[in-house]
Amino acid sequence: MTSQTELHKTDIVAPARLDTQASIHELLVNRRSPRAFSEQRIEPAKLLSLLEAARWSPSSANEQPWRFIVATKDDSRVFSVLTESLVEGNRRWAERAPLLILALTQSTYTKTGTPYRHSWYDLGQSIALLSVQASALGLAVHQMGGFDAEKARQLLSIPEGFEPVVVFAVGYPDQPATLPEHLQKREVAPRSRKLLQDFVYTEEWGKPSSHLQTQSSLLTPPSTN
């Protein structure tokens, strides 16, 4: 096993090659949620690009329910509110990131006032696009549900009708050695997922879909180096 001190630059980006069942884009292979963030500032044009990616996300009735409260370390009051709203286990590593964003979503449709059943779904999707854009720019995103939404609501004067959903950290990944010891192992552990067979069905609930039996070159697992 590689020791922390032997980690190379490539290990920062991808600690272990993914155990994929089919070929996927490198941006997705490299995307992950690190805890070791460099203090390096994010270029303003890159920040704008992340937000633009979220802006072009699809949403139910094109409602675009997402709202983002964006704080770099220069926005010291808001940055402090966001770090203080995090649970201790998240705050420890997230406060080093150069950018924190509170993501909120609208609870009802603007036109009808009826409950917006897909609101959280649409917000999540916008952050997914933002995360892939981040991956393309060499940045990483780590979303956190572990924060006090009511505290954030009060201290940031969030109006009724909007729900704080996650805080996410954005920045350049750093060496795992910059983390407290107990987090270093998690940082370099291989990312894992359920198998496709566990959640893709066609003929019967719980039975792996026959579409997964395809033997195409696309399904040849990529090499593991």
Interface residues with ligand FMN (CB under 6 A) are: 32-33, 90, 143-146, 166, 191
Nearer to ligand FMN, 90 or 106 (CB): 90
At 176 the three-state DSSP class reads: helix
The span from the CA of 155 to the CA of 133, in Å, is 30
Task: From 135, 132, 108, 4, select the one nearest 57 (Cα to Cα).
Answer: 132
For ligand FMN, the closer of residues 48 and 189 by Cβ is 189
- Closest residue to bound ligand FMN by CB: 146
Smallest distance from ligand FMN to CB 187, Å: 10
Q: Are 97 and 83 in contact (CB under 8 A)?
A: no
Rounded to a whole number of angstroms, the minimum distance from the CB of residue 44 to ligand FMN is 26
Least distance (Å) between residue 209 CB and ligand FMN: 23
CA distances to 5, 54, 132, 172, 190 from 138, rounded to whole Å, are 22, 17, 10, 7, 19
In the complex, what is the shortest distance from the CB of residue 92 to ligand FMN, in angstroms, rounded to a whole number?
Answer: 10
What span, in angstroms and rounded, lies between the C-alpha atoms of 56 and 208? 33
Cβ nearer to ligand FMN, comparing 48 with 87: 87
